[in-house]
Amino acid sequence: MVVTACAMAFAHGSNDVANAIGPLAAVVSVVTNGGEIGGKAQLAWWVLPLGGIGIVAGLAMLGKRVIATIGKGITHLTPSRGFAAELAAASTVVLASGTGLPISTTQTLVGAVLGVGMARGIAALNLGVVRNIVVSWVVTLPAGAIMSIVFFYILKAIFGVA
């Protein structure tokens, strides 16, 4: 379990930090190049550590509930089931990161835990928790879009730039 936990931590850092700093790196590149968008940008030295700090802070402040839901809420995990789920999720995330696919580490781990739960039959899953997870995935896409529109218009009103 320690080995797969380390693999999962590596996968989480390699994937989610990259997903988080991508937009920031683009903004920093545009600002440092006088507003011009280049085909390839040099990553500022401080962006990657800032992303790492952000991931650690988010996990420390809000990660406990997510960890509890995945580890205890979806299905009963034994050490061997947890090992299989973590190994599968870490492998998937590292492969996706290596190919440049921006996937969610958390969603991948949820899928892996669902997989080991379904291996015991559908009755082994807590379908109420699974339903809430799926609903949250569906809701976050339009919620993110709506929030983006709201923030755009607020910033446009403040700065007067489109």
Q: Render pLDDT for 23-77 as a digit per residue (tens, 0 to 9).
A: 888 888 888 888 877 777 788 889 989 988 988 898 899 889 988 999 999 999 9
pLDDT tens for 106-131 read 999 999 999 999 999 999 999 999 99
Residue 162: is its pLDDT beyond 80?
Answer: no
In this prediction, residue 160 carries a pLDDT of: 82
Give the other-Cβ count within 10 Å of 28's Cβ. Answer: 17
pLDDT at 110: 95
Mean pLDDT of the chain: 90
Domain ranges in the chain?
A: 2-125
Q: pTM for the full model?
A: 0.81
Share of the chain above pLDDT 90, in %: 57
**Per-residue confidence (pLDDT) for residue 120, from 0 to 100:** 94
Task: Return the bridge partners of 125, or none.
Answer: 75
| pLDDT(3) > 70 | yes
Give the pair of three-digit tokens for residue 3: 């080995």
The token pair that represents 134 in the structure block: 């799926």
pLDDT (average), residues 136-159? 94
